[in-house]
Structure 1
Amino acid sequence: MVLIAPFVAPLLFPALAQSVDYTQHVDVFSGTENGGNNFPGVARPFGMVKLGPDLLNQGTDAYSGYLSNGAFSGFSLMHEQGTGGAPKYGTVSQLPLVGNISNPFSGLTVGRAVADQGSVGYYKAQTTDGVVVELSASSRAGIYQYTFPEGKLGNILVDVSHVLPSFRGQGLGQGYKGGNFTIFPDGHYEGHGVYDNGWNRAPNWNIYFCGYFDAPAISSEVYKGTDVNGSVVQPNGIAASTSGDTRIGGVFSFNATQVVSRVGISWISTEKACSNVDGEIPHGTDLKTVVDDAKAEWNSKVLSKITTTNTNETSLSLLYTSLYFMHLIPTNQTGENPGWESTEPYYQDIFTLWDLFRCSTALMHILQPVAHEEQIRSLIDIWRFEGYLPDARSSNYNGRTQGGSNADNVLADAYVKGVRGAVNWDDGYRAMVKDAEVTPPNDNPDPMAPDSSTKEGRGALPDWLALGYITPRFTRAVSRAVEYAANDFGLYQVAAGLGKDDDAEKYLNRSRNWRNHWNEEQESLGFSGFVVPRNESGFIATDPLTDSGYWGNPYYEASSWAYSWADVHDMKKLIELMGGPETVVNRLNTMFTEGANGGSGMIFDPTNEPMFSIPYLYNYVNRQDLSVLQSRKIAKGYYHTGPTGLPGNSDAGAMQTWLLWNMIGLYPVTGQTTFLIHSPWFESLTVDLGGCKKLEITATGGDGNGDSGYYVQSLKVNGKEWKKNWLTWDDIFAEGGTLEFELGDTPVDWATGELPPSPASED
């Protein structure tokens, strides 16, 4: 195949016309503490470079590089956004130091003098040595501006061995494996590093770099050494290593007070790294130009996609900060794919679809239809060349699959909502069938779940195909079963659309197999019926209040209280099994009752993706008012501005997109065209759908910030009175539309129309 023309994202385009600077409402430090793991550094939308600080605090994982305490171990160009599990990247690093340096590879760190500062496209830190570090970035290059203390020797350490460490003890820490480093006669440097592992258990991967300084160094030395023997200057300006024990890098020393460094990265070669920095941040570019350009790009491409007349700064900060963080990954790496040549787009740093399929990818489709189509095409292309769709992918390697093959859900959702363009849906369907029918090899068993592959696909297929359920010989048996059922429903949707009637019938039937895990006699808090483990001999009892687990357990990261609601495509049957609408209302209410979990909290966990849809399920039993009540209580009670503003791990923006849907007043049902209606926050909200199409949402009677008066009294859709508590893609998104809400302080029975569809329940 012919290699696609390289992705081009020039830094220095003229500032895009933008009458409003939405970046002023973005708090880049939001969710950086309290386990949110947001990345506060500098980046462009979907950019390869995410330049920010790496803080070292022994025993504490810095997932995005940032911690509020600890010492700077470097400022590196590669990070993930909001992830858990174990840190990834922290590669291509510089560290400013003052004075003489005798052994640069002795684990040098430097303290933080004052709290870091940051805004969209700009980051500032000050070390205890008195060095001010200012950062900005383009898509594939970064710029550092150092201000050293007057009269002090300023040094910049480039350490090829630098990675973000992990202290969790799960065997997921990254490893440095070697590389090379060269300082050229004109003073610039090039090289590459080799690394492995991280949360996705990746084998060796290479990243290439090319760096320039705008001030001449009074000395520049290449070092090579080990932790035991120390560092030795390489007289020829070149160092190479094929061992993780032998570190390489360089130290550049300056008499100048201010030094600007420009660095490009590439997954392909040092030549491409140099081309990336020369094309995006050319010689002579100042920091302010890069910052201004970054702000203009974020305003034009992302933040202006949702606008409001609201003037409350707390609400605006939550809105635009959430939009910002949901666009940091996946990474658009088109033209930078080291694995194969293709004419298709290439996105990676998918971390992970298990977190994102419930509501994030649906919002990405609405806000970024072009990028979303490219992401779908990229998923399919990964299948073409690697054999399976990824559920997660980082450093160009699939892994780890936490539950089902949830790329199937993402593809199905795109298909039923009309994503076509250049997507080859015949190939897309074949990729989904591969997930559904072929067990992935377990060539490199995961120590935390050795029973089957966690790299990709559906490792528990042997039981699923032979028995219609999953026995405990497979880890995460129950949570995988309910996800496999949803995955198969996705195949049904695409098969039906493509006219594959026999396949459609088969996968629709398989999508009901979650029922085989339903034990009507399992009880908890007076309610009967939960999805439970089972084997050929029958059901295995658990305690639904305490059965949440991890990789080796029947339920992954949530309890049977949560997973029993998972298969929304079969909701009518689920309501029947639970005992009818009244029991369902009581059961849902119990999940939001303080102390119902036997402690001081709720059964509902706002930090956990398997819970995301639960507040909205009241719509299926004609209690839309309770969907509004419970979802608003969660949004207002657990999401805030500031560093501790997220209730838990961002998970690549998953938390932020849940909040954004709450603000909009809708919730997507993945794999269907259905959107559940709740209640918007603002008096007016405009969503840019692309192609000159817009969704206009207005609300009268509320307080304009969603704090009170949020119950729906009446609704008009496209100017006509609406009586259903749900609508479809075609109603308001396909060509745009309007939603006119009248809100009030007390619930009324406005939604008297038919209930949301339950396609798999129609036997």
Structure 2
Amino acid sequence: MKEFVDPFIGVDNWGSCLCGPYLPLSLVRPGPDTAIPHPPNGYQSGQPIIRFSHTHVSGTGGEGRYGNIGILPFITDVHTAQKGYIAQQEQAGSGYYHVMLEPAHIKAELTATSHVGVHRYTFPDGAEAQILLDAGSVIQTSREDSAHSISGHIEWISTTEIVGRADLQGGWGHQFPYSIYFYAHFDQEALQRTAYSQDDSTQNLFAVGPNCQALASFGLAHEVNLSVGISYVSIAKARANVEQEVGQKSFSQIHAEAVEIWEHELSRICVSGGTVEQKTLFYTLFTRLLCMPGDLGVDDENPSWHSGVRQFTDFYCVWDSVRNANALITLFHPDLEIAFLNALLDIAEHTGWLPDAWIAGHSAKIQGGSSADILFCEAALKGLQGIDYQKALHYMRKNNEVQSPDPLFYGRYLQDYSTLGYVSTDVPLSSVSKHLEYTYQDWCIGTLAMYLKQYETAQEYHTYSQRVWNLWRDDLHTFAPKNHDGSWVEPFDPTHKHIFQWLDPYFYEGNSWQWSFNVQQDFAGLIERHGGTEAFIQHLDTFFELGYYASKEIMLHTPYLYIYAGRPDKTAERVYTLLQQHFHATRDGLSDNEDMGCQSAWYMCSSMGLYPVMGQDLYLLTPPAFKRIKIALGNEGSHLIIEAPEAGERQRYIVGATLNGLPLQRAWLRHHEIVHGGVLHFTLADQPGSWGEQEIPPLPQIFARYSSTAPQTT
């Protein structure tokens, strides 16, 4: 699969992905950083390269974060080099990055292990080979609260080794400080070496303070190799990472091992047929799906506590990955999804609350509610074992029942939601979209309670979930903001979108039209309120034809809603068009932030013809882009085979299907039907038929609908 991995896809503009090398869920993600201000990934094509740093987030928006422990090769004046090099002959592949730095004629190559960035610099003949190590380097966007160095230290401990710590602060999500320890080892002795800091320009072999830096000169050395171990725990751990993961291996050996690791991971899903671009997008986006969070191991790299639980850093953010990425991981790597959920529970045990985002050892900004609630519900419905669901339910209920001391970072804004039955405009930002998310999370709480046979709790929370309609305006056919006194906000335009989409008082990163399809607990109620299936189909058509769809997290499921109205052919048409419009094998090939796998999973699932409904055990079906797909279902040896012999540009409709040889007349499946393996066979055609129109997906269970004893909604 390595021939189909192009790390430059989606690096620019909204995509903000990484072109530098990394391993699946690795702690270290080295790569080039371009001139300040950087995008959140630190890199923009065509801008001068100012260094190579070791920590990055991939595919995010917001303020800059990380870009720590920078390396800059140079041959003359360091101050000139810090202004940046012109990038020529850039190349990248699985676990590898290469660039010529002009006009210095320095060849830079990067590869990586899980905790070590490995560098190889080739200098021009007759030039003095020099390297700057910047312990205070950070990615700084033009947004407020970008990262910065607050302290640290650096020290030469031999002619080939530098150690230190960087203390840093800032970036999207929170302003809590964090520390990174490092150990750098050169493959040859430095002939000259110095260290200094922002506070003290005196040149010594050590320095203390913000923005500590070290300089090394290697004379006329033609090639210099460097391994930089990173740790969140200690210098000793950073050094051990280099010794254990690199040791005496050459750059080429490390690169070859990285390629092998990726080949193993990508082989979990094998596709055949399709175009070269489709395969390149599929496997490149597969590597994005496995980029974050970073794996801290079991009591290994977690600086905050030891608990015997495998931990991760940079769930950045669950609000994004919950849409589809976690479901896809559950299908092909359920043990990993179990580890994610146990890590979230472990965080709750140590902080008191389930995080919605967990960045650099702290809960970070909540964009809606607690998306972890959705994941635990989905995991139970899909039968994932090894999770303490009773404990999960306790923390999920806490989100609804206990007022958070700081709902910006955990829990909910409960005052009005609990007493009025809706989130009023007294909540200054995203009041309506928070309401929508709270109510679906209440459905998930109720469903998990039902799974655990706690029927009174299930009934109570399923009733809470019907509060969703308390902010529905029949006259607008959308959700709308309501004041504390029960009056609607007037005037109100459901198509208006705030210029700073994250600062809208009513809807986060979207408008009312875009958010009003987020009623996952009651799509039937949504269709009914639009006047039935035909009116709902017309509304969906208008939504797409007027250009309101964007490749945003909150809208990714909308083309699949035609299936709930008995029109899987329209889903097929929309999905085909959106795959063509929003995904290209180019540097600007993503039309929105990749966001912790949600864009990648949308492409992968849609091109496989199997799209998940978040929080539930359903998959919605659409024509695959590939003729054959083989998905390894975990590590037990079973596989799901998806066959579509007619797959191609013209065959856009499913006209027949079988599952394990038996006729399948519906455009949906439950997880238990495929989790143990099987063959899903599609017959495709260039014109739609009536396949899948009669049997719509099963509707989520709502106690308030069938129980005369159910408590009434507010």
Aligned residue in 1 for 2:439? 485
Alignment-mate amino acid for residue 203 of structure 2? V
Give ranges in structure 2 of 5+ residues lacking alignment: 706-714
CA contact (8 A) 1:489 1:507 kept: yes
Alignment-mate amino acid for residue 693 of structure 1? S
- Selected match of 1:257 from 219, 222, 231: 222
Shift of 1:115: 4.3
Sequence identity, in percent?
Answer: 29
CA contact (8 A) 2:274 2:626 kept: no
- Give yes or no for the alignment of 1:72 onto 2:43: no
- Selected match of 2:639 from 691, 694, 705: 694
Alignment-mate amino acid for residue 645 of structure 2? T
- Give yes or no for the alignment of 1:218 onto 2:191: yes
CA contact (8 A) 1:46 1:328 kept: yes
Shift of 1:689: 0.8
Alignment-mate amino acid for residue 545 of structure 1? T
Query: C-alpha separation between the residues in 2 aligned to 1:665 and 1:113?
Result: 39
Shift of 1:113: 4.1
Shift of 1:636: 1.6
Alignment-mate amino acid for residue 287 of structure 1? F
Shift of 1:100: 4.8
Residues 349-360 of structure 1 aligned to structure 2 (within 5 Å):
349-360=314-325
Q: Kindly tell me: are residues 113 and 728 of structure 1, through their superposed partners in 2, closer, same or farther at Cα, counting changes over 3 Å?
A: closer
- Give yes or no for the alignment of 1:667 onto 2:611: yes
Query: C-alpha separation between the residues in 2 aligned to 1:200 and 1:332?
Result: 19
Aligned residue in 1 for 2:110? 135
Aligned residue in 1 for 2:22? 43
Q: Structure 1 length as normaliser, TM-score? A: 0.89
- Selected match of 1:120 from 94, 97, 105: 94
Query: C-alpha separation between the residues in 2 aligned to 1:658 and 1:186?
Result: 50
Alignment-mate amino acid for residue 23 of structure 2? R
CA contact (8 A) 2:462 2:702 kept: no
Aligned residue in 1 for 2:711? none
Deviation per CA, 1:454-482: give whole Å up to 9, x if none: 21222x21111111101111021000000
Aligned residue in 2 for 1:14? none
- Selected match of 1:726 from 644, 665, 668: 668
- Give yes or no for the alignment of 1:202 onto 2:202: no
Residues 176-195 of structure 1 aligned to structure 2 (within 5 Å):
176-195=149-168
CA contact (8 A) 2:145 2:175 kept: no
Deviation per CA, 1:205-251: give whole Å up to 9, x if none: 1110001000111111111334xxx72202xx22222xx4xx32210
CA contact (8 A) 1:482 1:514 kept: yes
Shift of 1:404: 1.2
CA contact (8 A) 1:667 1:675 kept: yes
Aligned residue in 2 for 1:446? none
Shift of 1:747: 0.8
- Give yes or no for the alignment of 1:461 onto 2:438: no
CA contact (8 A) 2:568 2:693 kept: no
Residues 44-123 of structure 1 aligned to structure 2 (within 5 Å):
44-56=23-35, 58=36, 60-101=37-78, 108-123=82-97
Query: C-alpha separation between the residues in 2 aligned to 1:380 and 1:133?
Result: 42
- Give yes or no for the alignment of 1:362 onto 2:327: yes
Query: C-alpha separation between the residues in 2 aligned to 1:212 and 1:191?
Result: 12
Deviation per CA, 1:75-123: give whole Å up to 9, x if none: 111001111112210001111111255xx6x992321241421111111
Shift of 1:757: 1.8
- Selected match of 1:649 from 578, 581, 593: 593
CA contact (8 A) 2:425 2:481 kept: no
Shift of 1:34: 2.9
Aligned residue in 2 for 1:565? 517
- Give yes or no for the alignment of 1:435 onto 2:391: no
Query: C-alpha separation between the residues in 1 aligned to 2:652 and 2:118?
Result: 46
- Give yes or no for the alignment of 1:741 onto 2:691: no
Alignment-mate amino acid for residue 253 of structure 1? S
Aligned residue in 1 for 2:710? none
- Give yes or no for the alignment of 1:317 onto 2:296: no
Secondary structure of the residue that 1:38 maps to in structure 2? coil
CA contact (8 A) 1:664 1:681 kept: yes
Query: C-alpha separation between the residues in 1 aligned to 2:46 and 2:77?
Result: 26
Shift of 1:683: 1.4
Aligned residue in 1 for 2:455? 501
CA contact (8 A) 2:154 2:207 kept: yes
Query: C-alpha separation between the residues in 1 aligned to 2:250 and 2:101?
Result: 22
Secondary structure of the residue that 1:749 maps to in structure 2? coil
Aligned residue in 2 for 1:9? none
Q: Kindly tell me: are residues 441 and 155 of structure 1, through their superposed partners in 2, closer, same or farther at Cα, counting changes over 3 Å?
A: same
Aligned residue in 2 for 1:11? none
Give ranges in structure 1 of 5+ residues lacking alignment: 1-21, 443-452, 523-527, 597-601
Shift of 1:37: 0.3
Shift of 1:279: 0.3
Query: C-alpha separation between the residues in 2 aligned to 1:360 and 1:187?
Result: 43
Secondary structure of the residue that 1:225 maps to in structure 2? coil
Alignment-mate amino acid for residue 475 of structure 2? E
Aligned length: 695
Shift of 1:154: 1.4
Query: C-alpha separation between the residues in 1 aligned to 2:521 and 2:310?
Result: 31
Alignment-mate amino acid for residue 233 of structure 1? Q
CA contact (8 A) 1:194 1:207 kept: yes
Q: Kindly tell me: are residues 100 and 520 of structure 1, through their superposed partners in 2, closer, same or farther at Cα, counting changes over 3 Å?
A: closer
Residues 373-412 of structure 1 aligned to structure 2 (within 5 Å):
373-412=338-377
Aligned residue in 2 for 1:449? none
Shift of 1:516: 0.3
Query: C-alpha separation between the residues in 2 aligned to 1:233 and 1:350?
Result: 40
CA contact (8 A) 2:478 2:494 kept: no
Aligned residue in 2 for 1:680? 624
Deviation per CA, 1:55-77: give whole Å up to 9, x if none: 11x4x432112110222221111
CA contact (8 A) 1:568 1:758 kept: no
Shift of 1:326: 0.8
Secondary structure of the residue that 2:445 maps to in structure 1? helix
Secondary structure of the residue that 1:409 maps to in structure 2? helix
Alignment-mate amino acid for residue 181 of structure 1? I
Query: C-alpha separation between the residues in 2 aligned to 1:163 and 1:134?
Result: 21
Q: Kindly tell me: are residues 224 and 309 of structure 1, through their superposed partners in 2, closer, same or farther at Cα, counting changes over 3 Å?
A: closer
Alignment-mate amino acid for residue 584 of structure 2? H
- Selected match of 1:233 from 199, 203, 206: 203
- Give yes or no for the alignment of 1:553 onto 2:505: yes
Q: Structure 2 length as normaliser, TM-score? A: 0.95
Aligned residue in 1 for 2:251? 287
Deviation per CA, 1:288-311: give whole Å up to 9, x if none: 1011100100111x2111112326
Shift of 1:624: 0.8
Secondary structure of the residue that 1:203 maps to in structure 2? coil
Alignment-mate amino acid for residue 224 of structure 1? S
Q: Kindly tell me: are residues 585 and 257 of structure 1, through their superposed partners in 2, closer, same or farther at Cα, counting changes over 3 Å?
A: same
Secondary structure of the residue that 1:91 maps to in structure 2? coil
Aligned residue in 2 for 1:331? 294
CA contact (8 A) 2:110 2:118 kept: yes
Deviation per CA, 1:502-529: give whole Å up to 9, x if none: 111111111111100001112xxxxx34
Stretch deviating more after TM superposition (538-547 or 615-624): 538-547
CA contact (8 A) 2:160 2:187 kept: no
CA contact (8 A) 1:172 1:198 kept: yes
- Give yes or no for the alignment of 1:148 onto 2:123: yes
Aligned residue in 1 for 2:136? 161
Query: C-alpha separation between the residues in 2 aligned to 1:667 and 1:312?
Result: 21
Alignment-mate amino acid for residue 745 of structure 1? D
Shift of 1:760: 4.5
Aligned residue in 2 for 1:426? 390
- Give yes or no for the alignment of 1:576 onto 2:528: yes
